[in-house]
Amino acid sequence: MGGPTAAVRCRVVRSAAAQRIVARHGRVDTLGMTNTIPVVGSAPLLGSLYDLNTTRMRAFFTRAYIEHGPVFEIRVLGQRLVVLAGPEANRYASGSGRKSFGSHLAWGRLDRHFGVASSMISVDGEEHTAMRRVEARAYTRAHFNATIDRSAAAAHEDLDAVSPGWLAVAPWCKRLVTEQVARVAVSGSARPLLDDLVRYVQLTLMAHVTRQRPPALMRFPRVARSQRRVWAMVDALVDERRRTGPGDVPDLIDDVLAAAALDPGRWGPTDVSVAALGAFIAGMDTAANTLAFAIWELVQRPELVPDLVAEVDAALAGGITAEALERMPGLVRFLFEVLRVHPIAPALERHLVTDVEFAGYHLPAGTHVIIATTVTHSLGDLFADPDRFDPDRFSRERGEHRTPGAYVPFGVGTHTCAGRGMAEGLLTLDAALLLHTLRFTKDPGYRLRQIARPTPSPDNRFRINVLGRRTPDDQRAVSVPRTQADREALTPRT
Ligand code: HEM
């Protein structure tokens, strides 16, 4: 993260509520006249650059939140950024402040790289609402359910290809999830171009969004070749659909082409292709990396596995259906805990499009802010013993995720993940089929090392030891209690 310097010297907001917040965090000077945002101490030149690595930033922001409260300033390479954190920040960004945050500063560079004026993730206001109305349907749980056979077929193919011995987890998850996103969202296949897709999508995000790589990298022959191939694939999918019309189950391309027919000025040919590629940009690494973390947690906690396997076996006894996935509340709680402990988007970059009064500060329009959303995931007053991996915190009785603003793996505000339904469906299906099909154990020599390309993931050395396949006898169903109330308890409110 980086970007323009924000104006950070602010005047005191004099409302009683604001004064209480300010007093609580002890930031009013003795005269009560001015208020300066606390600055997190850092190295002279680099500032907090080291701590802003995606794999470290949540811990860094959490420490700063505990020390300074919900608003603080950090320095990075001579630039100043304002950070908003804690449940109050999440509630504000999802509630009364939702229209105050703009996305263009963070995501607009991607539009320029793609050659479009805007895209769903970079626009705000009515234009965003209109684009989201068009694009989000194909990312819903309902669409995932309607196409579940496609996701299940891809999973079976990749599980069938696994032999006993070592399996490198992160690349396996990437291959599977990318193929599932291709089949579900755009009715295509990513298999022939997997390496190109992974290379192009990751480097594009790192060069034009997170700025972990210089944009010049995109001109390297290997990267440029991947870029050409990926766009040729996407354009071919769109062209074919123009010729054939919608498939049996309309997908993202069908929805966007229908919108383009009504409003060709808004949806030019490049906009349509960018929307189709958007499925990979948004869905591929996010869900794949979360699945890899889920497998990491499974092998760390063999004591949890027998109950999960029994639940999955019982649910899948009648076949792989959308309803079967609803009968796995224990696995869903496990995956919710994976998303709490390993959120792949620990913070969001924004700029303010209006003046904002928050937590006792006045922040002017134009301020470059980071919403450190997932600081809450580590706070002991929201999640009991937060360093402990404990899926039961999502049970109906405890429901720790229900505190507004506490549990936010899918973001906050207007751009909150449009693919949440699909992501939850994919994660449940893939984890269930893995548990149902394979016997595996951990590599005792591996310690978790995370990489961020740009979303965090276990590195490619993370592998599991596949002991063999489970037989039909192994899979004999065991009955596990499951109720509607169990499922309702898993719906977080932010
Ligand atoms: C575990 C998996 C996933 C996680 C944790 C996740 C998380 C997020 C987060 C935090 C955002 C907000 C980004 C921002 O505000 O800057 C987001 C946006 C988005 N996600 Fe996901 N995501 C996941 C999977 C998916 C999948 C599978 C898809 C679809 C294939 C998807 C589609 C989108 C889209 C389209 C947006 C932009 C929404 C908008 O701008 O209105 N996501 N996601």
Q: Which of 143, 145, 146, 457 is nearest to 287 (CA)?
A: 457
Q: Residue 45 has what pLDDT?
A: 78
Q: What phi and psi, each to the nearest 5 degrees, are found at residue 456? A: -65, 145
Enumerate the β-bridge partners of residue 331.
none
From atom 43 of ligand 1, which residue's Cα is the shortest distance away?
A: 417
Say yes or no to pLDDT of 90 above 80: yes
Atom number, ligand 1, closest to the C-alpha of residue 373: 10
* Ligand 1 pocket check for 98: Cβ under 6 Å: no
**DSSP labels, 88-102:** HHHHHHHTTTGGGEE
The identity of residue 122, as a single letter, is S
From atom 27 of ligand 1, which residue's Cα is the shortest distance away?
A: 283
Question: CA of 18: how far to CAs of 15, 310, 388, 403, in Å?
Answer: 5, 52, 34, 22
- Measured in Å, residue 419 CA sits from the centre of ligand 1 at 5
Q: Which of 424, 439, 441 is nearest to 328 (CA)?
A: 424
Local structure of residue 343 (DSSP, 8 states): -
Q: What phi and psi, each to the nearest 5 degrees, are found at residue 271? A: -60, -40
C-beta of residue 253 within 8 angstroms of C-beta of residue 272 = yes
What does the pLDDT look like over 97-152, one tens digit per residue?
A: 999 999 999 999 999 999 999 999 999 999 999 999 999 999 999 999 999 999 99
In angstroms and rounded to an integer, the radius of gyration of the C-alpha atoms of the chain is 23
Atom number, ligand 1, closest to the C-alpha of residue 424: 1
* Ligand 1 pocket check for 359: Cβ under 6 Å: no
Query: Can you tell me which residue has the tokens 């019309």?
Result: 245
End-to-end CA distance of the chain: 25
Residues constituting the chain = 494
* Ligand 1 pocket check for 178: Cβ under 6 Å: no
- Measured in Å, residue 50 CA sits from the centre of ligand 1 at 26
Q: Residue 475 has what pLDDT?
A: 87
* Ligand 1 pocket check for 132: Cβ under 6 Å: yes
Q: Residue 47 has what pLDDT?
A: 82
Enumerate the β-bridge partners of residue 457.
451
- Non-local (6+) Cβ contacts of 243 within 8 A are none
Instruction: Count Cα neighbours of 467 within 13 Å in the Cβ-side half-sphere.
Output: 9
- Non-local (6+) Cβ contacts of 237 within 8 A are 186, 187, 188, 253, 276
Q: Residue 158 has what pLDDT?
A: 98
* Ligand 1 pocket check for 348: Cβ under 6 Å: yes
* Ligand 1 pocket check for 338: Cβ under 6 Å: no
What does the pLDDT look like over 164-178, one tens digit per residue?
A: 999 999 999 999 999
Q: Which of 3-7, 69-73, 234-238, 484-488 has the lowest mean pLDDT?
A: 3-7
Query: Can you tell me which residue has the tokens 């390309």?
Result: 453
Triad 337, 330, 283: Cα angle to 5°:
55
Local structure of residue 162 (DSSP, 8 states): -
Atom number, ligand 1, closest to the C-alpha of residue 287: 2
Omega of the bond leading into 454 within 30 degrees of 0 (cis): yes
C-beta of residue 61 within 8 angstroms of C-beta of residue 82 = no
Q: What phi and psi, each to the nearest 5 degrees, are found at residue 383? A: -125, 110
- Measured in Å, residue 295 CA sits from the centre of ligand 1 at 21
- Domains, the chain, in order of start with CATH, read 128-338+416-488 (1.10.630.10)
* Ligand 1 pocket check for 121: Cβ under 6 Å: yes
Say yes or no to pLDDT of 2 above 50: no
- Measured in Å, residue 60 CA sits from the centre of ligand 1 at 23
In the three-class reduction of DSSP (H, G, I as helix; E, B as strand; rest coil), residue 471 is classed as coil
Rounded average pLDDT over 257-261 = 98
Query: Strands 463-469, 165-168: parallel, antiparallel or unpaired by DSSP?
Result: antiparallel
**In which region does residue 220 sit, left (phi positive, over 0), alpha (psi from -120 to 50) or beta (all else)?**
beta
Q: Residue 24 — very low, low, confident or very high, per pLDDT cuts 50/70/90?
A: very low
What does the pLDDT look like over 329-358, one tens digit per residue?
A: 999 999 999 999 999 999 999 999 999 999
Q: What phi and psi, each to the nearest 5 degrees, are found at residue 66? A: -65, -35
Better-predicted residue by pLDDT, 157 or 21: 157
- Measured in Å, residue 489 CA sits from the centre of ligand 1 at 23
C-beta of residue 177 within 8 angstroms of C-beta of residue 157 = no
C-beta of residue 177 within 8 angstroms of C-beta of residue 430 = yes
Q: What is the rounded average pLDDT for all residues in the chain? A: 90
Question: What crossing angle do the helices spanning 269-300 and 169-185 adopt, rounded to 10°?
Answer: 140
From atom 20 of ligand 1, which residue's Cα is the shortest distance away?
A: 417
Atom number, ligand 1, closest to the C-alpha of residue 185: 30
- Measured in Å, residue 436 CA sits from the centre of ligand 1 at 28
Q: Which of 85-94, 373-382, 390-399, 475-484 has the lowest mean pLDDT?
A: 475-484
Q: Residue 477 has what pLDDT?
A: 54
Better-predicted residue by pLDDT, 382 or 492: 382
Q: Residue 12 has what pLDDT?
A: 33
* Ligand 1 pocket check for 1: Cβ under 6 Å: no
- Mutation test of ligand 1: which of 286, 342, 457 has the most ligand atoms closer than 8 Å to its C-beta? 286
- Measured in Å, residue 415 CA sits from the centre of ligand 1 at 8
* Ligand 1 pocket check for 130: Cβ under 6 Å: no
Query: Strands 79-85, 368-372: parallel, antiparallel or unpaired by DSSP?
Result: parallel
* Ligand 1 pocket check for 282: Cβ under 6 Å: yes
Say yes or no to pLDDT of 18 above 50: no
Say yes or no to pLDDT of 325 above 50: yes
Q: Which of 25-34, 85-94, 257-266, 417-426 has the lowest mean pLDDT?
A: 25-34
From atom 6 of ligand 1, which residue's Cα is the shortest distance away?
A: 410
From atom 39 of ligand 1, which residue's Cα is the shortest distance away?
A: 415
What does the pLDDT look like over 27-53, one tens digit per residue?
A: 433 333 347 899 998 887 788 888 888
Query: Can you tell me which residue has the tokens 């191939």?
Result: 229
d(CA 151, CA 159): 12
What does the pLDDT look like over 214-245, one tens digit per residue?
A: 999 999 999 999 999 999 999 999 999 999 99
- Measured in Å, residue 373 CA sits from the centre of ligand 1 at 14
Rounded average pLDDT over 199-217 = 94
Enumerate the β-bridge partners of residue 400.
none
Rounded average pLDDT over 290-300 = 98
pTM for this entry: 0.91
C-beta of residue 250 within 8 angstroms of C-beta of residue 135 = no
